[in-house]
Structure 1
Amino acid sequence: MFELKPMLSALWRNKVSALLIALQLALTLAIVSNASVIVKDRMEQVARPTGMDVGNIIAATYMPIPTEYDMAGAVVADLDLLRSTAGVVDASATNQIPLSGSGSAGTYFTEPNQEIGGENANYYQVDSHFINTLGLNLIEGRSFTPADEHVIGPNDQYHSNMAVVSKQFAEKLYPGESAIGKFFYSGANDNPVEIIGVVEQHLGAWPAWSRAGNVVFYPLLVTGNHKRYMIRAEPGQRDEVFKKVEDLLNKRDPQRVVHVETLSENLERTYISDNIMIKVLSLVMALLTFIVALGIIGLTIFWINQRTKQIGIRRALGATRANISRYFLVENALIAGTGLGLGTAGALIINQLMVSEFSQPALTLPLLTVCAIVLLLVSIAAALMPAMRAANISPAMATRSV
């Protein structure tokens, strides 16, 4: 510790440059730590299980050309055809395609005629094959049977008396107890809907929605001007089945326009903004860290060039190469420690603002600590090479400048 006093004296004489590096480190820590929170949150969101066999599912949407069209009959014929196709596990009709960003939602209550409170959920109108088609995991109760299904027109008023719900939604309505056999109500009406089954997970139409995972399924086919099918292929057969679906549907009934896509494409489109944000913020963090490292390298080299004579004298008086390297590393650590201390306070202040104004996730102490340690290690590593260069200065080279 005998070096500390001259070290502090040297830092005081060069306080402007030392302060600039410390402030650069502080700003970098504040930005990097808060960016890391956002990246971590987005990565966790992208990595969430959907509850569906996404990689093997194909979605088909068609619109009939004739104004008078037997939608109900077409659905039966189409699904029979699709289910009998080689490589297909199952097929189901639905009103909306999951993970597509397009869907319907409602507000649900545990008591009739309620209008305040309630829980929002994404809802689907499906047939009895939907669980097997989507690869959902039924954890309680039962699925729909063909006898449960109803066919109605687009302008008909009908309220289903049963539903299968996601586990998340069931726990919101009936926390701490089984929801099987219990009822919920849609909007301000007194038509009870019995929960007959619970699936483990289903993200619904909008994974970025704050209520993503709240999902209700009704056994209902609503005829109209278009219809959607979900087709689940056997593992490894999706692309082959994909090539067949449009041709099969058009061949069975050419009087309609068919569009086919994979659920993987929907998932990729859903998370495109999150993935872009992850890449951009990761690049920003890497660039800021690199710039800080360059600043530390430049400052350390500048100070070594200024102190060549002093280093030579210390070497002549018996200082080892390790003593010289340690001097500059400790000096750099003091600057880094000061900057990271200021950056910690700045990071917490910025995060509080982001949480309150932009609903961003809170910065945790472990994550802030990890970011600070990484920047400290980067600063030490950046100073290491110039410090080793200083250690190689010989007494003879220093005395030539006397």
Structure 2
Amino acid sequence: MCGGGAVTDSRAGETEAREALRPHAEDAFADELRALAAADDRPRPERWRLSPWAVSLYLLGGELPDGTVITPKYVGPRRLVEVAVSTLATDRALLLLGVPGTAKTWVSEHLAAAVSGDSTLLVQGTAGTAEEAVRYGWNYAQLLAHGPSRDALVASPVMRAMAEGRTARVEELTRIPADVQDSLITVLSEKTLPVPELGEEIQAVRGFNLIATANDRDRGVNELSSALRRRFNTVVLPLPETAEAEVDIVARRVDQIGRSLDLPAASDGAAEIRRVVTVFRELRDGVTADGRTKIKSPSGTLSTAEAISVVTGGAALAAHFGDGVLRAGDVAAGVLGAVVRDPSSDTVVWQEYLESVVRERDGWKDFYRACREVSA
């Protein structure tokens, strides 16, 4: 009976993962992780599910000897991924730094999934993140009834990761108040978390490490102290170097998101994806792709993540309210919404770009008309 119950619970868990709107990385790519684990004969750090080599392969993609295809989770410099993975195999924590939309959270989640098999030990940084979210809290009913005790202690994701030898994640570290940030110093330097109310401490076991992400544009919001920054090895994730790489990233993610949401597939979308990426890159760089015309940049970041959102929204429009073919009219409103964040300044930038660049570009008349319609 016990064995049957275990099978039933496992199947129920798999069904729940399939039905989740956004499955965790370890659930969405469970087959790939299992195949990698079976083929991985390289040394693994203690409590790691995969070797550092296999973790890198999981992120960058490739093919196993048995023909299993591992899809790339990150398209970018291989060396950056190798540095990030090797950092987690040491006693230094990892800080992923970059402008919005450079896949910091995505990489963080997949690293934790591949290393620990669990990406859910997460602290989401905001201006309201309290120290309890990083260290520990209390069950106040238990605390009032029986006083401080292990039963009354509510472990944070970081404390759980320390005790279980797993990877903890802290998102948007620079949005967390400075005094809360600094509660990580003892954790990262001494690998202990004191609990003075109990006269105890939680010591990290082998396998524990921490991945934090921070936004380049948040510098000065809650700047990391030099003492905390020294505890991290920083890896800067860049924007895609070429238009071709960015088009590839957008196409892959739109396809993945569409399948997870059961969106009807919008056909012939390659041209519009390339067009959205071109617009974003030119406005982001302040110059046209051929380098001949300088243009003003808007206040927003126009990241790859925003391009993915624009194309996904356009694919939904084309599938549900069009003929299934992704066209300029399906992405125009999304592009406008991404570019014009500050109506007082960005509207002028957008109108100048439309008239001086888009209007004159061969083969872009349909996109120009669609953008003019939604901008009116």
Task: Decide: shared fold, TM above 0.5.
Answer: no
User: In proportion to residue count, which structure has more strand?
Assistant: 1
- Measured against the shorter chain, the TM-score band is under 0.3
Larger CA Rg, structure 1 vs 2:
1
- Using structure 1 for the length normalisation, give the TM-score: 0.20
